[in-house]
Structure 1
Amino acid sequence: MKNVLLLLTVLVCLVTKAVAGQPVLVKSNGGWCWFQGERAVVVGQQVIFTSISSGQRDGWNSGDLVVTSIDITSSAVHHHLLSGEFQSDDHDVAGLCVLPDNRILAVYGKHNSDAYQRSRLTLKPGDITRWTDESKFDVGAGYTYANVFSLSAEDHRIYNFHRGRGFNPNCTVSSDLGVSWSYGFRLLEWTREDIKDDPRYTGLDGSRPYLRYASRGVDTIHFFLSDDHPRAYDNSVYHGYYRNGKIYASDGTELATPGSDGRSDLKPHDFTEIFTGNADHVAWPCDICVDENERPRVVFSVQVGDAANRTLRSKGGADHRYYFGRWTGWRWDVYPIAHAGTKLYAGEDDYTGLAALDPQDDDRMVISTNADPVTGSPLISSADNQRHWELFEGNTSDGGKSWRWTAITANSTADNLRPIIPKWDSDHRVLLWAKGKLSSYTDYDLDIYAQIDKR
């Protein structure tokens, strides 16, 4: 506790610099995966995010699941321990949802080690220092990921999309602002039987699609998905959405009315295809945002040129690209936009530094790469002569066909990874990211940084 209080004092001094657009350390010993949402939200002048520690450092124990708030007005930073019983595993990080009264709902769970969806609620609006006791809900299968959204058109009914029954995307629902939960439905059904004779199946792992979700909080939840894990399948990526009890393709074609029996007739390829994958072009979702007209934008990674290594685990991943897609209202326009560099570590050959779309600026994003975004040349730091992942801001003026890249970080002595841009107001923007070394999803030495700017 002494170390934590000392850390808070240091951070209060530093956060004042963040308003001027300088990177500042806001949480030591923390990391996150990217298949949860929202990992960061803004409530008034509070930037609130969740992270989980790996190893014992700076007063935090391995597996400490923490919520952090940055008060832009007072420059105060607060941390609250949601749970100290978790694994050192970035898949365990929480999903956050802002309730109508500005209280925060946090939903989280262990990485497929039990069947419990866990949740807690703040007692006061925008105040992370006091929470309800943890509640548990048995989802009926191993639980992973939390993607939590409230829909005002459904009297603020809350949906939590997670990996659950069948190792597939399912949802739980709450009609009392997160106090109690019930099983909702299974979004799709993708099993070993579906892929066993498929020539796009590599034989490594398989039968679990990966999804990113986005919602404006009114009546629709969008999802952006791959067929499977990219080491298991030559992934394409797709889009669909949920609205008023039905599931739709991008163009509004009704696909299904899901039931509560835990079954689904939908497969990944039943949704609207955004990008067609093959053995030399294997896709994986990074991020999705939705504009005021409910038109989605996506960014995804593509591992290129590795057909010869598709059945050889840990041998691929030397070259990735970022692609951007935009739904025009009648079609998907998709463009290759940047070099994404190499894999983060062997065994997860499709792990990149990731990319984040700006939810309030259709023409802006931030990417993490260890290659020059335009040329693909390795980024060798002049500070330590090592190759590192750096952050770049991208801007487009032609709908995403071409992008201008500007370095946010350069010549670093550590990697800058997994950026997040939470939705704020029209005057401000905040960028959060993890800096350090990621050796695996259970072994990482990372700190969370923030950069806050006026638009």
Structure 2
Amino acid sequence: MTKSNRNLNVEPERIERIERISTTLTGDGAWCWFADPRALRHVNAVTGSDKTYIGYIDVAGSIQAVQYDHVTQERKQVRVRAGFQQDDHNNPTFLALPDGRVMIFYSEHSTTPYIYYRVTTQPDDLETLGPEKIIDTTGYGNTTYPSPFVLTDQPDYFYLLWRGVNWHPTVARFTLPDPEGDVSCNMEPKQIVDSRCHEQETGKRPYAKYETNGKDKIMMTYTYTHPDNMTPNSLYYSYLDVNTLTLHGADGHQLADLNRGPLKLDNNETDPAHLVDRLPGIRNWNWDIAPDKEGCPVILFVRINADKDRHHYCYAKWSGSDWQITLLADGGRWFHQNEERELCYSGGMSLDHNDPSTVYMSIPVQGKYGEVFEIHQCVIADDGSICNINQVTENSTQNNVRPFVVRHASPGEPYDVIWMHGDYYYWDHSQGRLGYTTGLQTLCEDVAIEDERRTDPSA
């Protein structure tokens, strides 16, 4: 069945429909999009285990995880921490360790200098989580958005990135957990970039997304500040060489040495290998980053107008000399029911990190129940053109937003793509506030869906 959509930058006849239906993973759960990986599939060649781990925070503020076994098709629910801060910024993230154990990280929303973590005592099994432990970042700012990585050049350590020092992107290196789950800091936290060009400037806080090449580079894209704070709001790219702790542009030239201090950001940057996008009157915000098959960075971001009521989705790919930008779709405006705050909250996008030519995005569509945000899959050709767009969800009664492609997932298999579904008012659900009344949905097995025209008497 072909379906048109006025918000897509593609001819209507090129839009198809994926023959899979959505199913509810949990009726009570939410996540932000700046702490990753929120969900991870891990195949352990030694034990034969093949499992997907999915993390979220529920409305009571409990840190939750789902473990799905692709061999037995058994699904288990694990409560990681009860009664945490009721804030969707606090969703957990996962790290599969070289010995097969799984590590879970979580933190409060910039209210304490602590990153909490738990490590399984057995490989592959979240039901064997050990006791909660703390990484104390006192003196290096409060914490939000923990994102962990292990790189093969330094196999005895893991890197942790978060919003920390001066509310800016921060990196530190730790030893892998010992048998008791304890870690030690091998490199003190370092602020990566600094948006405070002048000492009197306050409140600037870059938003960063991270990914690695798996070996020696941590790739990152970050804004000058929160899009509410500035127009225009620049979007940047750089990568950290973990062996030298130097920061580089997309063409490889050095931007900064973190041993000497963070990279000073300039909202009027002109270096094409550093600046991804800046347009007059536009508030940029980043959504995802991944390397393509040649190792070149691919970035998803949104251009938001000055009034914050038009959100345009964009796909940027480094060509070797500049950023090739594809306009993907009109993302509408903010997705939530709150008409006063967080008007830069788009429906959202996610790359398939196995193949970043594939994008999932949330776009408002006129359906049976009015205009509702629906999930779409988009494929981008090497030249930046849009090959096709498939509508994944249809005629939903409530919004489908913040899609996430599970890391290392196999397309078409259970739990490859997950998104938030339901009504959303604010990221804080404490002190009587109406916040995130959402759940998580995913795609189930392929099903035969009869063409609606066959059952419509008027057809």
TM over 0.5: yes
Report the Cα offset of residue 113 of structure 1. 1.3
Given candidates 177, 180, 183, the residue that maps to 1:180 is: 183
C-alpha contact (below 8 Å) 1:321/1:339 kept by paired residues: yes
Matched with 1:200 is none
Report the Cα offset of residue 190 of structure 1. 2.1
Matched with 2:450 is none
Report the Cα offset of residue 88 of structure 1. 1.3
1:335 aligns with 2:319: no
The CA distance in 2 between the partners of 1:248 and 1:166, in whole Å, is 22
1:404 aligns with 2:409: no
> 5 Å matches for 1:218-233?
218-233=215-230
Structure with the greater relative contact order (CA < 8 A, sep ≥ 6): 1 or 2? 2
Supply the AA of the counterpart residue of 2:326: Y
Report the Cα offset of residue 272 of structure 1. 0.6
The CA distance in 2 between the partners of 1:192 and 1:136, in whole Å, is 33
The CA distance in 1 between the partners of 2:143 and 2:221, in whole Å, is 20
Matched with 2:258 is 258
The CA distance in 2 between the partners of 1:427 and 1:209, in whole Å, is 32
The CA distance in 1 between the partners of 2:315 and 2:200, in whole Å, is 27
Q: Which deviations, in whole Å up to 9, do the C-alpha atoms of 1:155-187 show, x marking residues without a partner?
A: 242111111111111122212247324223110
C-alpha contact (below 8 Å) 2:237/2:250 kept by paired residues: yes
Matched with 1:319 is 310
The CA distance in 2 between the partners of 1:412 and 1:428, in whole Å, is 21
Question: CA RMSD, aligned part only?
Answer: 2.2
Could you list the runs of 4 or more consecutive aligned residues of structure 1 that deviate by over 4 angstroms after TM superposition? 268-271, 425-429
How many residue pairs get matched? 397
1:435 aligns with 2:421: yes
Question: Which shows bigger deviation, 428-437 or 439-448?
Answer: 428-437
Which blocks of at least 5 consecutive residues in structure 2 are unaligned? Answer: 1-18, 44-49, 429-434, 447-459
Matched with 2:16 is none
* SS of structure 1 residue aligned to 2:89: helix
Report the Cα offset of residue 318 of structure 1. 1.8
* SS of structure 2 residue aligned to 1:129: helix
Say which structure is richer in helix.
1
Report the Cα offset of residue 256 of structure 1. 2.0
Q: Which deviations, in whole Å up to 9, do the C-alpha atoms of 1:385-420 show, x marking residues without a partner?
A: x32110011123353233522211111101101111
Matched with 2:39 is 40
Supply the AA of the counterpart residue of 2:204: S
The CA distance in 2 between the partners of 1:417 and 1:162, in whole Å, is 23
Identity %: 23
1:134 to 1:425, Cα distance in 2 relative to 1, 3 A: closer
Supply the AA of the counterpart residue of 1:219: D
Supply the AA of the counterpart residue of 1:24: T
The CA distance in 1 between the partners of 2:226 and 2:350, in whole Å, is 20
1:392 aligns with 2:376: yes
The CA distance in 1 between the partners of 2:320 and 2:36, in whole Å, is 25
Supply the AA of the counterpart residue of 2:107: G
Given candidates 208, 213, 217, the residue that maps to 2:205 is: 208
1:361 aligns with 2:355: yes
> 5 Å matches for 1:67-82?
67-82=65-80
Given candidates 172, 193, 196, the residue that maps to 2:198 is: 193
Report the Cα offset of residue 290 of structure 1. 1.3
Supply the AA of the counterpart residue of 2:77: H
Matched with 1:168 is 168
1:427 to 1:65, Cα distance in 2 relative to 1, 3 A: closer
Report the Cα offset of residue 425 of structure 1. 5.8
Matched with 1:28 is 27
Q: Which deviations, in whole Å up to 9, do the C-alpha atoms of 1:214-243 show, x marking residues without a partner?
A: 113221110011110001012121110011
Report the Cα offset of residue 105 of structure 1. 1.2
Report the Cα offset of residue 91 of structure 1. 0.7
The CA distance in 2 between the partners of 1:249 and 1:180, in whole Å, is 32
Matched with 2:64 is 66
The CA distance in 2 between the partners of 1:209 and 1:423, in whole Å, is 24
Report the Cα offset of residue 128 of structure 1. 0.8
Question: Which shows bigger deviation, 75-84 or 107-116?
Answer: 75-84
1:287 to 1:397, Cα distance in 2 relative to 1, 3 A: same
1:369 to 1:425, Cα distance in 2 relative to 1, 3 A: closer
Question: Which shows bigger deviation, 223-232 or 403-412?
Answer: 403-412
Supply the AA of the counterpart residue of 1:179: D
C-alpha contact (below 8 Å) 1:115/1:138 kept by paired residues: yes
The CA distance in 2 between the partners of 1:254 and 1:173, in whole Å, is 21
The CA distance in 2 between the partners of 1:452 and 1:173, in whole Å, is 38
C-alpha contact (below 8 Å) 1:192/1:206 kept by paired residues: no
Report the Cα offset of residue 287 of structure 1. 0.8
The CA distance in 1 between the partners of 2:79 and 2:299, in whole Å, is 32
The CA distance in 1 between the partners of 2:106 and 2:121, in whole Å, is 18
* SS of structure 2 residue aligned to 1:66: strand
> 5 Å matches for 1:32-181?
32-44=31-43, 45-54=50-59, 62-139=60-137, 140=139, 141-177=141-177, 179-181=182-184
Q: Which deviations, in whole Å up to 9, do the C-alpha atoms of 1:412-441 show, x marking residues without a partner?
A: 101101111123266655111111111111
C-alpha contact (below 8 Å) 1:146/1:160 kept by paired residues: yes
The CA distance in 1 between the partners of 2:438 and 2:286, in whole Å, is 23
1:227 to 1:277, Cα distance in 2 relative to 1, 3 A: farther
Matched with 2:455 is none
The CA distance in 2 between the partners of 1:129 and 1:148, in whole Å, is 21
C-alpha contact (below 8 Å) 2:196/2:265 kept by paired residues: no
Given candidates 433, 437, 442, the residue that maps to 1:450 is: 442
The TM-score with structure 2 as length reference comes to: 0.82
Matched with 2:248 is 248
Q: Which deviations, in whole Å up to 9, do the C-alpha atoms of 1:309-352 show, x marking residues without a partner?
A: xxxxxxx3221100100112332211211111111343111110
The CA distance in 1 between the partners of 2:410 and 2:85, in whole Å, is 38
* SS of structure 2 residue aligned to 1:152: coil
Given candidates 339, 344, 367, the residue that maps to 1:381 is: 367
Report the Cα offset of residue 148 of structure 1. 0.8
